[in-house]
Amino acid sequence: MKSPPTSRSAGNLSDDTPRQSGLTLWRQIAETLRQEIGGTGYPPGARLPTEAELSARFAVNRHTVRRALEELSRGGLIRVEQGRGTFVAEDVLDYTVGPRTRFTEWIHRHNKEPSGRVLQRREIAADAMIAAALGIRPGARVMLLERLGLADGTPVSLTRHYFPATRLRGILHALAENPRITDALKAVGVEDYVRQVTKVTARAPTAIEVNLLRMARNRPVLVTESINVDRSGMVVEFSIGCYPTPRVQIVFEPGEGPA
């Protein structure tokens, strides 16, 4: 059907994109699609042609199209779903990290409805990392709360919160009754707390995270580690949060600051 191995440095894509000699095919295809998506050719949420259709259009093998789609997917422009198709990604959600970051207010600020799903709530023994963050000895009792955060029903965060059980008597009960962490802490006597330190990294998501956050496997998650202290400086919480890019991006804004 086609000429053999195809000396790839000449000729044209059957469609509009010329085969520039210096650039690989999949990059050219990715760039073409990127422009079409950016140029209102496809609105957010719209479905792209299938891989077979695209490979026919650009007159390349399906794998080459897949390479281009993977690139766009990693960049966050599209979302690929097995058995369904590929879709243009939705808008991003700024996550403003400050001394007083609260989930509910974050989502409300974006005119969306916050909700949450508790995945775990139980007592565990502190490992070395948790102990160091909370300033307690390894093995001490720690309350773990794992929560999936949603904005208008779509997942935007996956957070694990660790509370020092001995310091905060009754925190497990309080967490069971109060969906909001701020309320639960208030119930055990912590009127106010501020974020002391936040650490940000990016990495590939785990399978579980992909599932819960409903994100593509090949997009990075932003990972934050933060320590919250009360007004007296006592550590009341250590939390690790995962956020799907590019649905969420992190904005940091230092405020008046305590200590």
Partner DNA sequence: GATTGATGGTTGTCCAGACATCCGGATGTC
Partner DNA sequence: GACATCCGGATGTCTGGACAACCATCAATC
Q: Which one among 64, 101, 224, 239 touches DNA, defined by CB under 7 A?
A: 64
Give the binding-site size for a copy of itself (rule: CB under 8 A).
33
Length of the chain: 259
Mask for 22-51, x = binds DNA (CB under 7 A):
--xxxx--------------------x-xx
Out of 16, 81, 177, 192, name the contact with DNA by CB under 7 A: 81
Q: Which of DNA, a copy of itself, none binds 83 (CB below 5-8 Å, type-dependent)? A: DNA
Under the binding rule (CB under 7 A), the answer on residue 157 touching DNA is no
Residues 6 or more apart whose CB falls under 8 angstroms from that of 199 comprise 224, 225, 226
Instruction: Enumerate residues 172-211 that contact DNA by CB under 7 A.
Output: none
250 in helix, strand or coil? strand
| Interaction between residue 138 and DNA (CB under 7 A) | no
Measured distance CA(126)–CA(140) in Å, rounded: 5
| Structure tokens belonging to residue 40 | 């209102």
Stretch that binds a copy of itself, among 82-90, 159-167, 176-184, 243-251 (CB under 8 A): 243-251
By the 8 A CB rule, do 145 and 160 touch?
Answer: yes
Does 12 sit near DNA (CB under 7 A)?
no
CA-closest candidate to residue 163, choices 119, 127, 130: 130
- Helix, strand, coil shares of the chain, percent, nearest 5, are 25, 35, 40
Single residue of 203, 208, 211, 233 touching a copy of itself by CB under 8 A: 203
Question: Which of these ranges, 18-26, 98-106, 119-127, 233-241, lies near DNA under the rule CB under 7 A?
Answer: 18-26
Element (H, E) at 21: none
For residue 79, the SS3 value is: strand
| Paired residues of 222 in beta bridges | 202, 243
Q: From DNA, a copy of itself, none, which one binds at residue 10 (CB under 5 to 8 Å depending on kind)?
A: none
Among 14, 63, 183, 197, binds DNA (CB under 7 A): 63
Query: To the nearest whole angstrom, how small is the minimum distance from the Cβ of residue 59 to DNA?
Result: 7
Q: Cα dist. 43→73, 77, 104, 244 in Å?
A: 16, 11, 29, 21
Eight-class DSSP state of 145: E
How buried is residue 258: exposed, middle or buried, by Cβ count under 10 Å (0-12/13-18/19+)?
middle
Shortest Cβ 15–DNA spacing (Å) = 13
Judged by CB under 8 A, the chain residues 221 through 240 that form the site for a copy of itself are: 222
Assess 84 for contact with DNA (CB under 7 A): yes
Give the residues lining the site for DNA (CB under 7 A). 1-2, 5-9, 24-27, 48, 50-52, 59-61, 63-64, 66-67, 80-86
